[in-house]
Homo-oligomer: A and B are copies of this chain.
Amino acid sequence: MPEAAKRPTRGDGTSTGPVLGRGLQILGAFDASRPAMTLSEIARHTGIPVSTVHRLLGALMEWGALERADDGSYRIGLRLWEIGSLAPRSQALRDRALPFLEDLCQVSRENVQLAVREGAELVFVERIAGTGAVPVLTRVGGRFALTSTGVGLVLLAHAPPEVQEEVLAGPVEALTPFTVTDPVRLRAMLADTRTRGFAVSDRQVTDDALSVAAPVHDRAGAVVAAVSLVVHAGSVPSQQLATPVRTTARAISRALGAP
């Protein structure tokens, strides 16, 4: 038996876990800052012995989860993206939402974003940049804290209580001098978001951007995503942005079968 099967992986108690778990651990070692890695870098980042990594890479390459670049480094393969595209909460949602996001982007000529909650963080599912839009920190497929961004505040405002408590228990990272980190003020912002139907993040992520976000509902009425418009802070009153953003969020909700 391979040595990988003999040693249990941390936090994995299933009998089939070690080998599969280690294969998945290798995939999970890739991120936006490490889109390509050599064999030894993968071993270092995962803590899995080089000889085991080498064997697992063979199976991952054969299936198409990884590909080898001309320089010999490994990178995520097209097939993993193809299978990942079947995730209902990413590509399917994005495909339904895209026409409405494009309308909002064309009319506003600003950044339009779509995000979903994953645990106590959010993941950007789509981002369209209008002509001359303010620079933003987001990347499609990238993660972000639920505090600070407009979409994050919407998703957090409608998250289960235990998620809200976990996030509010902190610490909340201050990205700018304007980031609200005080749990009491954050709680008030979440209540406002639920009452008004939209969230405002004023220079809380970068000190020149303001975002206004609204919730997207599914057919059961649950909040499954948030859409936002990000503009230069001070260029437009946030109240004026709320109407187009809420209208877009409702159009997407309707496309998802919301009543």
A residues contacting B by CB (< 8 A) are 1-2, 4-5, 12, 14-24, 27-28, 30-32, 35-36, 52, 55-56, 58-60, 62-65, 67, 69, 75-92, 95, 98-99, 102, 106, 116, 118, 123, 128-129, 139-141, 143
Contact = CB atoms under 8 A, between A and B. Distances in A.
B75 A35 contact: no
A71 to B, nearest CB: 12
Secondary structure at the A interface, as helix, strand, loop or mixed, is: helix
Given A86-B141, A123-B78, A141-B85, A56 B16 contact: yes
A2 B22 CA distance: 16
B60 A20 contact: yes
Counted per complex, copies of this chain come to 2
A86 B76 CA distance: 6
B99 A14 contact: no
B88 A24 contact: no
Contact of A140 (B62, B91, B140): B91
A232 to B, nearest CB: 19
A65 B24 contact: yes
